[in-house]
Chain A
Amino acid sequence: MSTDERIYVGYLPMSGRLRTFTLIAVSALLLAGLVASGIVAYTLRRSGTGQWDTSQPVTLSGVARLRPYPHLETLDGPVLLAEPGKHGAQGRTANIDGHEVMVTGTTLMRGTLRALEITEVSAPSGERVGPTSIELGADEITLLGEILDSKCYLGAMKPGDGPTHKACAILCLRGGIAPLFVGETEAGEVIVAVLCSPDGSPVSEEIIAFAGETVRVRGRIGTFGSLQVFAVAPGALPAAGD
C-alpha cells in the first residue's frame, strides 16, 4: 500500500501530498492567528500618558501632610506620596505631619499631577506648620468618570484604569494610596482631583468599592492646601454611569 492511499498514522512515514497539505494548513492557521492577534494588539495600544521614572531618584523638600492622603506641599505644587508596592505612606508621614522634610524617591507624573514613591524621608526640621483646612465650593456638582488609585493612574501601571484594573485599584486604595476622581462635569470640563470626605478625611470603603467603574458622583470641588480635591459625603454612593 503506498503512503498516498494510506490514512495518516503518526508513527509511519507521511505521504508527500499530505505533508504539503499539512504545511499549508499549519501556515494558514498561524497566519490567521497572527493577523487576528495583531489587530487585537493594535486595538489595545493606548495606555495613557502617565510616566514613572525609575532611573533617577529625586529629592524634594516641602511640608509633609497626612490628610486627606499623604502628600508633600512643595513650592511647585503638591506631590502625592506612596510607599513601594500598593501601600500608602500614612505610616511614614504620621510622625512628620506639618513638618518641613526632604523626601527621596522616584517620580510618577501625568499632566501636572505628580507623586513620589518614597525610598527615604529625612528627619523633620523647624517648627510644625499649622494644619491646612479643606475649602469647598458652595454648590454640589455631578461628575461622570472613574475612581482610580493615583499611583497606577500616574504611571505605575499602564493602563491604570478601566474594568481590567478594578481589582488592582481597590487593592491600592485599601492599602492607603490616594484615590483620584478623573471625570467630566456636565459642561464637559475635565476634572482630576483627589477624592476625599467633606471634612478632609479619607473616603469610605463603600466608595472605594466603586473604583474601576464608570460612575456618576455628586460632591463638591475644592482645595486642601494646594491639593485639588473632590469631596463626597460618606453616604453619597456613586451611581452607574451611562
Chain B
Amino acid sequence: MSTSYRLVQWNTHKKVYDLLVGLAIVLFVSVLVGVSIMTSPPGESASPPIVLMRALGVCAIVLLHIILAIGPLARLSPRFAPLLYNRRHLGVAFFLVAAMHFVVAIGFYGGFGVTNPLLALLSGRYRNADTFGIPFEFYGFAAFVIFFLMAATSHDFWLHNLGPRAWKWLHMLVYIAYALVVMHVAFGVMQGQTSLTIALIVTAGALTICALHLVAGFRQVVREPKAFVGEGWVDAGVLSDIPDTRARVVRTHNNQEIAVFRRGDTAHAVTNRCIHQGGPLGEGQVIDGCVTCPWHGYQFDAGTGCSPPPFTDRVRTYDVRIENGRVLVNPEPKSKGSHEH
C-alpha cells in the first residue's frame, strides 16, 4: 500500500509460504531424479543433465497447475485463501524452476555445436504434420517468454506503473502460456512414447484446470444477483439477510459492481474492485471498521473508502439508506478511487 517503499512487505505467512515452496521444489526434484535413476535398468539411465532437465520440467508443470488451480479453488472456498495470498511468490519460484529447465535444455541439447545454442534448438527443420512443421522447442520458448514477462512485472512497482487493468491483462497471458506448455509436451516428449501414461496425465491436468475455472465461473454467476436495470437507487435486498460484517454484491444499470457491507444495523457500500489487483472486495469482510480485501488484505475505511493512515489509497464509496429493512444504494459514487485522480 502507498507508504514508505519496501521491496517486499514480508510477514510471517509469506516467510513460511516461501520456505515451504522452496523445500517442496527441492523435494520434488530430488524424488524425480531418484525415481528416474533407481528405476532404470542397469546402464540404461538417462544422462544426468537430461534427468535434471526432465525433473525441473515436470516440477515446473506441476507448479503451474497448482498456480492455475489456486484462483478458482479460492473462489469456490475461502479456505483456500492462504494459498492464494502469496501466489506471486509461487509464480516467481515456478519461473525460476522453468528457467533452470530452459538453461539445461539449451545448454545440453543446443550447446557444444557449430551453431548458437538457442538457434540450434529453434531452427530444426521439421516436416512432421503432427507438429505443424514447428519444432516443439518453439512452444516451450514462447511460453517461457510470457513467463519471463510475468515474473519481471510481478512486483507491485509494475502493478502501479502499468495500472491494474493492463497488469491483469498481461498476467492473463498465463493461459496462453499454459496452452503452449501443453503443446510443448504434446509435440515433444509425448511423441517419443509408446505408452499413453504421459498423455493421460497431461490431459487429466488440463481437464482439471478447465473444470475448476468453469465451476468457479458458474458459481460466481449464480451467486451474483441479476443486473438492476433502471435509473435511481438500487435495491440491495433485506439488510438482515446479509451476514454481519460481510457483503452482498449488486450490479448497477451501467454494469458497476458495488459491494454492500452490513455492520450491525447499518450498511456501507464500496466498489467491488480493490485498487490493488482488482480483488473482489465483496468477498472480503469488515475488520476493525475497515473493508478488507480477501486477496491481499488491503484495507479501506467502510465509510470513507480511505485506507487507514499512513496509507493514502482509497476506493469509491456510495450513499446507502435503509427503508423498511431494505438497503438502497445510490449508483453514483460519492468519492473517487485512487486511480481516478
Q: Which residues of B contact A161 (CB under 8 A)?
A: 192
Q: Decide: A45 and B292 in contact? CB cutoff 8 A.
A: no
Q: Decide: A47 and B79 in contact? CB cutoff 8 A.
A: no
Q: Which residues of B contact A170 (CB under 8 A)?
A: 120, 124-125
Select from chain B the residue with minimum beta-carbon distance to A48: B44
Given A7-B78, A86-B112, A168-B109, decide whether A40 and B198 contact each other with a Cβ distance below 8 A. Answer: yes
CB distance from A76 to the nearest CB of B (A): 21
CA distance A47 to B42 in the complex (A): 11
Partner of A240, one of B27, B45, B82, B127: B127
Given A38-B32, A157-B50, decide whether A45 and B81 contact each other with a Cβ distance below 8 A. Answer: no
Q: Which of A11, A157, A163, A174 has the most CB of B within 10 A?
A: A163
B255 within 8 A of A: no
Given A11-B13, A40-B198, A158-B50, decide whether A164 and B192 contact each other with a Cβ distance below 8 A. Answer: yes
Q: Decide: B41 and A159 in contact? CB cutoff 8 A.
A: no
Select from chain A the residue with minimum beta-carbon distance to B124: A167
Q: Which residues of A contact B296 (CB under 8 A)?
A: 10
Q: Which residues of B contact A172 (CB under 8 A)?
A: 113
Q: Decide: B110 and A168 in contact? CB cutoff 8 A.
A: yes
Select from chain B the residue with minimum beta-carbon distance to A88: B114
Q: Decide: A37 and B113 in contact? CB cutoff 8 A.
A: no
CA distance A178 to B129 in the complex (A): 27
Given A26-B20, A158-B46, A166-B124, decide whether A43 and B113 contact each other with a Cβ distance below 8 A. Answer: no
Within 8 A of A (CB), among B205-222: 205
Q: Which residues of A contact B44 (CB under 8 A)?
A: 45-49, 158
Residues on A close to B: CB < 8 A?
1, 6-12, 14, 18, 21-22, 25-26, 29-30, 33-34, 36-49, 51, 84-87, 156-159, 161-168, 170-172, 174-175, 209-210, 212-213, 240
CA distance A165 to B124 in the complex (A): 11
Q: Which residues of B contact A164 (CB under 8 A)?
A: 109, 136, 188-189, 191-192
Q: Decide: A42 and B83 in contact? CB cutoff 8 A.
A: no
* CB<8 Å pairs between A and B, sample of 22: A6-B285, A7-B81, A7-B283, A34-B28, A36-B201, A40-B198, A41-B32, A41-B35, A41-B36, A41-B39, A45-B44, A47-B45, A86-B112, A156-B47, A164-B109, A166-B135, A167-B135, A167-B137, A171-B113, A171-B115, A209-B127, A240-B129
CA distance A88 to B121 in the complex (A): 19
CB distance from A44 to the nearest CB of B (A): 6
Q: Decide: A43 and B197 in contact? CB cutoff 8 A.
A: yes
Q: Which residues of A contact B115 (CB under 8 A)?
A: 171, 174
Q: Which residues of B contact A174 (CB under 8 A)?
A: 113-115
CA distance A168 to B111 in the complex (A): 8
Q: Which residues of A contact B230 (CB under 8 A)?
A: none
Q: Decide: B80 and A25 in contact? CB cutoff 8 A.
A: yes
Select from chain B the residue with minimum beta-carbon distance to A30: B24
Q: Decide: B83 and A22 in contact? CB cutoff 8 A.
A: yes
CA distance A168 to B193 in the complex (A): 18
Q: Which residues of A contact B36 (CB under 8 A)?
A: 41, 44-45
Q: Decide: A39 and B43 in contact? CB cutoff 8 A.
A: no
CA distance A174 to B124 in the complex (A): 12
Q: Which of A10, A87, A168 has the most CB of B within 10 A?
A: A10
Q: Which residues of B contact A159 (CB under 8 A)?
A: 46, 50, 192
Given A41-B55, A48-B44, decide whether A165 and B82 contact each other with a Cβ distance below 8 A. Answer: no
CB distance from B239 to the nearest CB of A (A): 19
CB distance from B295 to the nearest CB of A (A): 9
Q: Decide: A1 and B191 in contact? CB cutoff 8 A.
A: no
Given A7-B78, A11-B11, A33-B62, decide whether A46 and B113 contact each other with a Cβ distance below 8 A. Answer: no
Q: Which residues of B contact A33 (CB under 8 A)?
A: 28, 62, 65-66
B237 within 8 A of A: no
What per-residue 1/0 map shows which CB atoms of B118-134 lie under 8 Å from chain A? 00110111111100000
Q: Which residues of B contact A41 (CB under 8 A)?
A: 32, 35-36, 39, 54-55, 58
CA distance A40 to B59 in the complex (A): 11
Q: Decide: B188 and A163 in contact? CB cutoff 8 A.
A: yes
Select from chain A the residue with minimum beta-carbon distance to B286: A1
The 10 closest A-B pairs by CB, nearest first: A162-B192, A85-B112, A171-B113, A86-B113, A8-B81, A33-B62, A47-B46, A9-B297, A41-B35, A10-B85
B287 within 8 A of A: yes
* Additional 8 contacts, C-beta under 8 A, given A163-B136, A170-B120: A38-B32, A41-B36, A41-B55, A47-B46, A51-B43, A164-B192, A166-B135, A167-B110
CA distance A36 to B31 in the complex (A): 12
CA distance A40 to B50 in the complex (A): 14
CA distance A7 to B81 in the complex (A): 8
Partner of A45, one of B39, B59, B120, B124: B39
What per-residue 1/0 map shows which CB atoms of B47-87 lie under 8 Å from chain A? 10010001100110010011000000000001111110110
